[in-house]
Amino acid sequence: MEQWEKKFAQFCLQKKYITIEELQHLIYLENESLKKGKQENFLFLLESQLHWTNEHIQKVYQEGLQQDKTMMGESITKVPSITQMAVVNQDKTIPTKASAANQDKTMSTKASINQDRTMPVGQDKTPYCANIIPVTKEVQEAKIGRYRIIKTLGEGGMGIVYLVYDSLLQREVALKVLIPSVAMMENANERFIREAQATAKLNHPNIIRIYDVGNEQDKSFFTMEFISGKSLKEIMEEKKIEKNILLKIFQKVVNALSYAHAQGIIHRDLKPGNILVDHENEPHVMDFGLAKIMGSAEGDILTAPGAVIGSPAYMSPEQAKSELDKISKPSDVYALGVILYEMLTGQRLVQGNKLFEMFFQIIKKDTPPLRGIAPEIPEELERICLKALQKEIHSRYPSAKEMAQDLDQFCQLRETQSKKENNQSNKISKIGLLRFQYYAEESPKDNWISFFEIPINQELISIGRNRGNDICIRVPENQTRSLHISGQHCKLMVTKDKKIQIIDLKSTNGTFLNGQPLEPNKAYTMTPDSVVDLGKKEVRFIVDTGEEKFVKTILQTEPSPQKISIITTIDGSSTIQQ
């Protein structure tokens, strides 16, 4: 961007003729055109992307000159017109004359004027950041003060985050620095420093910690703790973590926001991409770039009237309406509700990627009931989510504190219920135990030798060669014999009326009940002292039902809260893995 373009862009932003999102989008397109050897400058993009007419551009330009005659160093007549640009870029279809419909368009910054234009909005990883330099060998050797850059971790609407090495404290930390295209904007540095100050005020295990704030070579930066893991956005998209674990992660996020609200800080841009989850499933809320300190006028001064605050897909209705004076703690609550909705249903609450469509859904469209999408969602959890997603501010939770209280109570009741169910399942162990035997051809007395016993202490018991089973059977000294048992061979189920059923899981060599082969995937009821042969009838187990048998068990009758695998060997030894 030429210097005159930067000043013109600042003027347009100051006058609210364009939004900051639109400006970032145009900067991105201009940089992309330069990479391709084209000359799509800022004025050209105003007309081709935002549908400004030549008359509008001339009018705003003259208005800018009247305000500050030194604002631009070149006359607008020296700037290539849109017709000239069309000649330069013959490979791109560009309208050489604005349509009558476009001439009737106003200079309003409302998203409705761009409802026909698809913009890359609502993404957690903002794609339209200019001047992003890939980390090459040369960049890796670069330093910012005492910090040596190791690699790029990510980029957002305001800055780039690097993994750096702190030469003074000899540790790796994350360093965030403003991107050049944002640094030139008015109050950008003040807003950036405010992010560090807002986060530094918070001391919570689930909020990222700030270490240092500085300025090197006119570049503002701050360092924070480095979290090795994934964003909640990535985790939710992968759909590999169970929902009960996701709920525990979310519960900690809500409590972290409750703490922030108690300190008078509103996040204003909460979304899954701003929550890092480490390898212990501990969440860390970050990116307080749009945070506001309650009782401070600074946030209002740095935010222009009419500006849109937040990421579109997670905005509250008041944010979508640009009602800055109404953005408060319930705005964060709404964002939490959107995250919880997506977490429970697996679907986006706000669909599409056009601003006009997204804002309409946020402001006008009723929230679809969660249980209509996923009936297994508990009613109380649905109620909590829908209360957070109320359109009217006064109908939501006043802050994250009240939402956290309801969520904590729900999780506590659920845990209590789970313990009761576990106590009920403990009674299953009274049914009996499984006595496993192996066939020894050279035994002087009995060819069938018992080598371990296990109580029936859970409703479902999987048996096979793989370690993922509840009971894993292997013969270390005889690989061929081990392979006679399939990885997932069979499973036992205990019915509500305390009957034991066995199901063959399409094993290679079959499962035999009292000598009869079982049809795969069909449940067969077992009786006391039933004999089950596995594979080529070299390993079998017998169901014993007398309580006197329990004295020989190798496990406690109460089930472990963790899954237990038993790696058994023919010599009779067993290894319990938790």
Taking the CA atoms of 16, 21, 24 and 30 in sequence, report the sign of the dihedral they define: negative
Q: Which DSSP letter does residue 428 get? A: G
Domain stops at, among 364, 388, 417: 417
Confidence of residue 294 (pLDDT cuts 50, 70, 90): very low
Q: How far apart are CA 474 and CA 477, in angstroms?
A: 9
Q: Give one DSSP letter per residue of 333-387, joined into a string.
A: HHHHHHHHHHHHHSS-SS-SS-HHHHHHHHHTSPPPPHHHH-TTS-HHHHHHHHH
Task: Give alpha helix (H) positions in 159-267.
Answer: 180-183, 188-200, 232-238, 243-262
Same domain, yes or no, for 162 and 302?
A: yes
Residue 128 located in a structural domain: no
Same domain, yes or no, for 282 and 365?
A: yes
The 3-state DSSP class for residue 539 equals strand
Confidence of residue 72 (pLDDT cuts 50, 70, 90): low
pLDDT at 112 over 50: no
pLDDT at 152 over 80: yes
Residue 120 located in a structural domain: no
Cβ atoms of residues 93 and 120 within 8 Å = no
Q: How much of the chain, in percent, has pLDDT values that exceed 90?
A: 27
User: Rounded to the nearest 5°, which phi and psi values hold at 276?
Assistant: -95, 140
Cβ atoms of residues 500 and 494 within 8 Å = yes
Same domain, yes or no, for 353 and 396?
A: yes
Q: Give one DSSP letter per residue of 266-302, joined into a string.
A: E-S---GGGEEEETTS-EEE---TT-EETT-SHHHHH
Q: How far apart are CA 472 and CA 485, in angstroms?
A: 10
Confidence of residue 479 (pLDDT cuts 50, 70, 90): low
Residue 342 located in a structural domain: yes
Q: How far apart are CA 496 and CA 498, in angstroms?
A: 5
Same domain, yes or no, for 21 and 107?
A: yes
pLDDT of res. 204: 94
Same domain, yes or no, for 33 and 92?
A: yes
Confidence of residue 559 (pLDDT cuts 50, 70, 90): very low
297 versus 147: which is more confidently predicted?
147
Length of the chain counted residue by residue: 578
Same domain, yes or no, for 23 and 146?
A: no
Confidence of residue 79 (pLDDT cuts 50, 70, 90): very low
Residue 102 located in a structural domain: yes
Q: How far apart are CA 546 and CA 552, in angstroms?
A: 12
pLDDT at 338 over 80: yes
Residue 131 located in a structural domain: no
pLDDT of res. 111: 32
Residue 426 located in a structural domain: no
C-alpha dist (Å) from residue 370 to 220, 243, 346, 384: 44, 14, 10, 11
Domain holding 296, by residue range, is 137-178+187-417
Euclidean distance between the first and the last CA atom of the chain, given in angstroms as a whole number: 60
Number of domains in the chain: 3
pLDDT tens per residue, range 4-27: 777 888 888 877 777 776 777 777
Residue 374 located in a structural domain: yes
The 3-state DSSP class for residue 392 equals coil
Task: Copy the structure tokens of residue 337.
Answer: 């509700």
CATH of the domain at 348: 1.10.510.10
Same domain, yes or no, for 46 and 151?
A: no
pLDDT tens per residue, range 169-179: 899 999 988 77
Residue 427 located in a structural domain: no
Q: What is the pTM of this model?
A: 0.52
CATH of the domain at 505: 2.60.200.20
Helices (H) and strands (E) counted in the chain, each on its own, are: 19, 24
pLDDT of res. 208: 92
Which long-range contacts does 549-554 make (Cβ < 8 Å, 24+ apart)? 549/432, 549/433, 549/435, 549/453, 550/433, 550/455, 552/453, 553/433, 553/453, 553/454, 553/455, 554/452, 554/453, 554/454
Same domain, yes or no, for 469 and 526?
A: yes
Same domain, yes or no, for 58 and 26?
A: yes
Active-site amino acid positions: 269
Same domain, yes or no, for 401 and 470?
A: no
What angle is formed at CA 230 by the lines to CA 226 and CA 234, rounded to 5 degrees?
Answer: 150
Same domain, yes or no, for 18 and 157?
A: no
Residue 236: is it exposed, middle or buried by C-beta count within 10 angstroms (0-12/13-18/19+)? buried
Same domain, yes or no, for 258 and 371?
A: yes
Average pLDDT score over residue span 558-576: 38
C-alpha dist (Å) from residue 31 to 25, 26, 76, 398, 526: 10, 9, 21, 43, 72
**Which residues 6+ apart lie within 8 Å of 548 measured at CB?**
none
